Amino acid sequence: MAKEIERKFLIKRELWQPKDEGVSIRQGYLSLEPERTVRVRLKGERGFLTIKGKNHGISRMEMEYEIPAKEAAQLLDELCLRPLVEKTRYTESYQGQQWEIDIFAGDNAGLAVAEAELESEAAELVLPDWAGQEVSGDARYYNSSLIHNPYKNWQS
């Protein structure tokens, strides 16, 4: 069984600048049941189907399968819940740790988060200076939550 262990942080945008053009991501959800989510993603020119279990702290079961990009696009266009999540992903290494930085667009424009996947929940993580508040346990920042409560609705 595959397991995802990750920590998520807001980004201090004034301290972080992209080093390349990143990869465009469109993703949507076929299921948002609390015990399981089923996600479809187009990442650049590649399609993926991902099944994730319920979070237990910063861990959860995750299984991901590459699918034809044409089929992923059809699922996104015809079956996924709205709105879709749109973002550009940048990948950086900091002190040996791989980080994925997501800059959101569309209904979630203005949201910027960084995630680090870990080998274990107890693994030490050295934070870059651009890493802000940790939001790992805040369900509002789950991509699947952004379907029902997009970031644009948080602004008052």
29 is catalytic: yes
CA–CA separation, 148 vs 97, rounded Å? 32
d(CA 132, CA 99): 14
Q: Residue 76 in 3-state DSSP?
A: helix
In a 3-state reduction of DSSP, which class is residue 70? helix
Determine which one of 29, 90, 94, 151 is catalytic.
29
DSSP state of 78: H
Q: Report residue 132 as tokens.
A: 């802000």
Strand ranges for the chain from DSSP E: 3-11, 23-31, 36-43, 46-53, 59-67, 85-94, 97-104, 112-117, 131-134
Structure-token pair, residue 16 = 């972080």
Other beta carbons within 10 angstroms of residue 150's beta carbon come to 17
Catalytic residue ranges: 29
